Structure 1
Amino acid sequence: MSELVRTVLGDIPPGELGVCDAHDHLFIGSPALPGQELDDADAALAELNAFAALGGRAVVQWTPWGMGPRTEELPRLSRRSGVHVIGATGMHQARHYGPDAPAVAHDDLAGLFVHELTGAPVKAGLIKVAGAYHRLDDHARHVMAAAAEAHHATDAPIGVHLEGGTAAMDVLDLLCGRHGVPPHRVILGHLHRFPDPGIHRAAGEAGAFLAFDGPSRVHHATDWRLLESIAALADAGHAHRILLGADTVTPAARSTADGPGMPFLLGGLRPRIERELGEALAAAIFVENPSRAFAARWRP
């Protein structure tokens, strides 16, 4: 069984993915971000077009179930922009679901995830889960157990929101140590928010993919250490595990609203990485690594 990347328009060979924004959002909404919803399809298309104009060929939307992913809109946006789009299932922290979150976290989350990965009209290609700050609460453990079960049923990759970039090793202990998910099927997100080189190296040595996703955010306190963190990982032998994404989560962060947005990855960061860290590392981060991180031997 060959590995394929599951996009909203169907499965493609990994080599067709191209230059990839490995963590972003075209649509998202949460009670925790009132009035900041991404729900404008025209604005989403404009952002994709701006990304494509700089050579972007793929975007991974990490918006999980229940947070307004507008999955039915994604195929049209992908066709019109010419950009591959990978959607997500999964579940975020309880606070993003309002007061009814305990009822939402029902017993068959794994079945829901598997359906969205394999049986939905527009299939997801990623399971998104989330930890709490410096710990894994009961909600996170429940969702991650369901994600692991869905992974074993489908081989889907699991993307992890690390709150503040923390608890990376706790996540790997739970998903990989307890639930048997292979480390290379786990993508640890937001590592730039906790720029501890020792933790980054340990996660790389464990075999996980390491995502630095958030430079589209305005005034991230750790952005100035992004290239330093990437260089340290490359020097430690983990260049083949690094991913980059813009993680655009508010309308103001989009390039069409004078924010950095998706295009900043290619117009701002890629030239600096090529110039300061080398073209080979840039190619690994934007092309080669995503083609492995999001490919799976999909089971029916």
Structure 2
Amino acid sequence: MSAAAVDRPTRPAVRTVLGDIAPADLGVCDAHDHLFLRSPQLAGQELADAAAAAAELAAFRAAGGASVIQWTPYGMGRCAAELPRLARDSGVRIVAATGLHQAVHYAPEVLERVRADLAGVFVAELTEGIGGTGVRAGMIKVAGGFHGLDRHARYTMAAAAEAQHATGAAIGVHLELGTGAPDVLDLLCGELGVAPDRVILGHLNRAPDLVAHRTAAEAGAYLAFDGPSRAHHATDWRLPEALAALADAGFGDRILLGGDTTTAGARSVNGGPGMPYLLRRHRARLELALGKDLVTRFLTQNPARAFAAHWGRDGHASG
């Protein structure tokens, strides 16, 4: 389909599964999580239970949460038709994603279905709806590799860049173990011309490289620190230091926080940290180290800017 952008309104909005909202209405935001997720790499741990998703949203809401960005992309069990009901019942704003993950998360026939016009698929899901549901995606999710980009990643990012230019939607990038940000930025923002502030780099907490963090922030990208810690990931125990370094260097407006619940066992309703952990435990710990005002900015103003676009009446956007 044609991705030509047309007339745009002047006010940005965040595209939720219940429609477009003013960025300020996003409220306290989990900037990277999953209500539904299916992958051959996570067999037996699928997030496929709508009742469990509802319970997780209720717990998140009770902890003070107002919105969740679901980064689950095309072909990974997004359950888009369920999302409007879950948003209405919970009172939590939900943003859905289009995009494509690493090839290992798909059967070959799934990738073959979209290979001919991947950018067109992304644009259609952002502007018309996901799989005939009428539920429009509000961001694009893609993925890099470990310290580099394979052919699949480059192809997917090229399609994401084309869709971004047509719609203005933000591109969220899974960084494998937190690595590869320079290659991603060179491709998306260098070769493909995506504005750096339309790129959100995920999982930077998994590689506590303060130089890499600052370099990405200086380039103008948003930096997502998402997911509770396993000690060998150096996630929670190095996070205050990493965020303080960025804030002290003037990049407090680039930081996003998320939970990234990817397995059924990790849900709070099954005894794991789940979505509420971000606000129930993680926020308080960061406030002790960084101050309440700064952490509040990470959870509210920053995602409001990162996920907003100038959506038009035709479903396209710019900026």
Shorter-chain TM range is over 0.9
Q: What residue is the counterpart of 1:208 in the other structure?
A: 221
Partner residue, 1:143:
156
> How far 1:222 sits from its partner (Å)?
1.3
The correspondence for 1:228, drawn from 229, 232, 241, is: 241
The alignment status of 1:72 with 2:110, answered yes or no, reads no
For residue 199 of structure 1, what is the aligned residue in structure 2?
A: 212
Q: How many Å separate the matches in 2 of 1:17 and 1:84?
A: 7
Of 237, 246, 252, 1:239 maps to 252
CA contact (8 A) 2:114 2:121 kept: no
- Tell me how far apart the structure 2 counterparts of residues 139 and 107 of structure 1 sit (CA, whole Å): 13
Of 34, 44, 57, 1:35 maps to 44
**How many residues of Structure 1 are paired with residues of Structure 2 in the alignment?**
299
Distance in 2, Cα, partners of 1:30 & 1:24:
15
Match of residue 115, structure 2, among 106, 109, 121: 106
What amino acid is aligned across from residue 55 of structure 2 in structure 1? A
Whether contact under 8 Å (2:123, 2:163) holds in the other structure is yes
Does structure 1 residue 85 correspond to structure 2 residue 97? Answer: no
Could you tell me which amino acid in structure 1 is paired with residue 302 of structure 2?
A: N
Following TM superposition, by how much is the alpha carbon of 1:99 offset from its aligned partner in structure 2, in angstroms? Answer: 3.6
Aligned residue type for 2:15: R
Distance 1:186 1:227 in 2: 23
CA distance in 1, matches of 2:111, 2:26: 37
* 2:289 is equivalent to residue 276 of structure 1: yes
CA drift at 1:100: 3.3
2-structure distance, mates of 1:100, 1:291: 37
Q: Secondary structure at the match of 2:238?
A: helix
What residue is the counterpart of 1:3 in the other structure? 12
Q: What is the TM-score normalised by the length of structure 2? A: 0.91
The separation in 1 between residues aligned to 2:75 and 2:108, in whole angstroms, is: 13
- Give me the whole-angstrom Cα distance separating, in 2, the residues matched to 1:220 and 1:105: 37
What's the CA shift for 1:221?
A: 2.4
Matched, 1:257 2:266: no
Give the 3 Å change call, closer, same or farther, for CA 279–187 of structure 1 in structure 2. Answer: same
Unaligned 5+ runs, structure 1: none
**Cα distance in structure 1, aligned partners of 2:53 and 2:266:** 12
Following TM superposition, by how much is the alpha carbon of 1:225 offset from its aligned partner in structure 2, in angstroms?
A: 1.1
Question: Which digits, 9 at most, give the CA deviation of each residue in 1:144-169, with x for residues without a partner?
Answer: 00000000100000000000111101
The runs of at least 4 aligned residues of structure 1 exceeding 3 Å deviation read 99-102, 217-220
Mark the runs of 5 or more structure 2 residues left unpaired by the alignment. 1-9
| C-alpha distance in structure 2 between counterparts of 1:124 and 1:43, whole Å | 22
Of 20, 39, 56, the match for 1:47? 56
CA deviation profile, 1:30-74 (whole Å, cap 9, x unmatched):
011111100000000000000000110000000000000001100
Cα distance in 2 for residues equivalent to 1:131 and 1:209:
16
Shift of 1:269: 1.2
Q: What code does the residue aligned with 1:110 have?
A: A
C-alpha distance in 2 between matches for 1:67 and 1:164: 20
Contact in 2 for aligned 1:273/1:281 (Cα 8 Å): no
Give, in angstroms, the shift of residue 219 of structure 1.
5.3
CA RMSD of aligned residues (A): 1.2
User: Which of 133, 158, 168 pairs up with 2:171?
Assistant: 158
**Does residue 1:292 correspond to 2:305, yes or no?**
yes
Give the 3 Å change call, closer, same or farther, for CA 3–247 of structure 1 in structure 2: same
Instruction: For 2:282 and 2:308, locate their aligned partners in 1 and report how far apart those are by CA, in whole Å.
Output: 24
TM-score scaled by length of structure 1: 0.97
Secondary structure of 1:201's aligned partner: helix
Deviation per residue, 1:279-298 (Å, 9 max, x gap): 11111100110000000012
The Cα shift of 1:104 comes to 4.1
